[in-house]
Amino acid sequence: MAEKRDYYDVLGLSRSATAEEIKLAYRRMAMKYHPDRNRDDPEADLQFKSCSEAYEVLSDPEKRSRYDRFGHEGLRGVSMHDFSHMGFEDIFSMFGDIFGGSFFGGRTQRAQRGYDLETSVELTLNEVATGVERTLEYKRQDYCEACQGSGAQAGTRPQTCRTCGGSGQIRQGGLGGFFQMLRTCPTCAGQGQVVVDKCRNCRGTGRQVKHRSVSVKIPPGIHDGQAVRLAAEGEAGQKGAPRGDLYCYVKVKPHPFLLRDGENLLCELPVSFSLAALGGEVQVPTLDGLETLELPAGTQAGQRVQMRNKGLPRLEASGRGDLYVQILVEIPRKLNKRQKELLQQFRQTEEKTNGFPQIKSFLDKLKGYLSK
Ligand SMILES: [Zn+2]
Ligand SMILES: [Zn+2]
Cα distance between residue 285 and residue 153, in whole Å: 63
Report how far ligand 1's centroid is from the alpha carbon of 178 (Å). Answer: 44
Could you read off the pLDDT of 269-320 as tens digits, one per residue? Answer: 999 999 999 999 999 999 999 999 999 999 999 999 999 999 999 988 899 9
Cα distance between residue 231 and residue 60, in whole Å: 39
Report how far ligand 1's centroid is from the alpha carbon of 35 (Å). Answer: 52
Report how far ligand 2's centroid is from the alpha carbon of 96 (Å). Answer: 19
Cα distance between residue 188 and residue 170, in whole Å: 11
Q: Where are the domains positioned within the chain?
A: 7-94, 117-252, 258-333
Report how far ligand 2's centroid is from the alpha carbon of 15 (Å). Answer: 27
The lowest-confidence range among 15-24, 82-91, 272-281, 359-368 is 82-91
- Phi first, then psi: what are they for 334, rounded to 5°? -145, 145
CA of 204, nearest ligand number: 1
Report how far ligand 1's centroid is from the alpha carbon of 146 (Å). Answer: 5
Report how far ligand 2's centroid is from the alpha carbon of 166 (Å). Answer: 6
For β-strands 193-194 and 159-160, DSSP reports them as antiparallel
**pLDDT at residue 276, as a whole number:** 97
- Architecture per CATH, domain 258-333, reads as Sandwich (2.60)
Partners of 183 in beta bridges: 170
On whether the CB atoms of residues 207 and 113 are closer than 8 A, the answer is no
List the Cα angle 322/294/287 in 5-degree steps: 35
Partners of 367 in beta bridges: none
Report how far ligand 1's centroid is from the alpha carbon of 162 (Å). Answer: 23
Could you read off the pLDDT of 173-220 as tens digits, one per residue? Answer: 655 556 667 788 888 888 888 888 999 999 888 889 999 999 999 999
**pLDDT at residue 111, as a whole number:** 59
**pLDDT at residue 175, as a whole number:** 59
Q: What CATH fold (topology level) applies to the domain 7-94?
A: Helix Hairpins (1.10.287)
CATH of 117-252, one of 2.60.420.10, 2.10.230.10, 3.40.50.2300, 3.40.50.720: 2.10.230.10
**pLDDT at residue 334, as a whole number:** 96
Report how far ligand 2's centroid is from the alpha carbon of 170 (Å). Answer: 8
pTM value is: 0.59
What is the three-class DSSP state of 285? strand
Residue 103 pLDDT greater than 50, yes or no: no
Residue 222 pLDDT greater than 80, yes or no: yes
- 171-177: long-range contacts, CB 8 A cutoff, minimum separation 24: 172/24, 173/24, 173/28, 177/28, 177/31, 177/32
pLDDT cut 90: percent of the chain above it: 50
**pLDDT at residue 2, as a whole number:** 53
The residue type of 10 is: V
Cα distance between residue 302 and residue 344, in whole Å: 26
Give the residue, 176 or 367, on which the prediction is more confident.
367
Report how far ligand 2's centroid is from the alpha carbon of 191 (Å). Answer: 6
Report how far ligand 1's centroid is from the alpha carbon of 208 (Å). Answer: 7
